[in-house]
Amino acid sequence: MAIEVLTVNGTGCEPGTAAVAVSADNQAFTVTYSEYTAVVGVGATPMDFRKNCQLNLAVKVPGGFTYAIASVDYRGYGYLEDGATGLEKASYYFQGSPDTDTFTHNFAGPMDDNWTTTDETDLESLVWAPCGEIRNFNINTELRVNAGTSDPATTTSLLTMDSTDGEIETTYHVAWRECEPGES
């Protein structure tokens, strides 16, 4: 498997702030973010409450095989004042396909801790790449923070996909299967 990042767009992944690496066994790939933070409150602009990142990937697989994303692990940090809320959301789909997997994880203040979420799809529900076709794979993630009942004039709440060393690894686990003869 070879993965190439074709485009990275969004307020959470400005050019040069996201990178992709493939594991040695070709069963997972990792996206590393360096500047992906949603914030509300003191010092934040009205647009800072929501950040997103859309990755458009070209995934080359050996002939006769196809793949699907089986599970995804996200890690980050959250600081939410009492009464504030946040969410991490992700959508996965192949270019030109109506099938989209979407997962949402909610957080509530008070919170001052690292967080981890996992999006996992049952084997029978996996969305497989069409056999014999090259379709780009899209991953659209979003972080959102709402002040709720906290006072945004005197407090700040935030969610990041960013660890203390400035990088976060999001790991995508890939499922493989052989295409059936004549399958397209």
Per-residue model confidence (pLDDT) at position 163:
33
Whether residue 10 is predicted with pLDDT greater than 90 in this model: the reply is yes
Whether residue 125 is predicted with pLDDT greater than 80 in this model: the reply is no
φ/ψ region of 70 (left if φ > 0, alpha if ψ in -120 to 50, else beta) reads alpha
Whether residue 170 is predicted with pLDDT greater than 70 in this model: the reply is no
Q: Write down the residue that tokens 């409450």 correspond to.
A: 49
Q: Write down the residue that tokens 């049952």 correspond to.
A: 122
Question: Distances from the Cα of 7 to the Cαs of 17, 65, 73, 80, 140, in angstroms?
Answer: 12, 24, 21, 31, 12
Whether residue 149 is predicted with pLDDT greater than 60 in this model: the reply is yes
Residues 6+ apart with CB under 8 A from 62: 1
Q: In sequence order, what are the beta bridge partners of 22? A: 29
The CA-based angle 52-5-20, given to 5 degrees, is: 80
Residue ranges of domains in the chain, CATH in brackets: 2-178 (2.60.120)
pLDDT tens for 87-113 read 999 998 888 888 888 999 999 999 999
Chain-centroid distance, C-alpha 93: 12
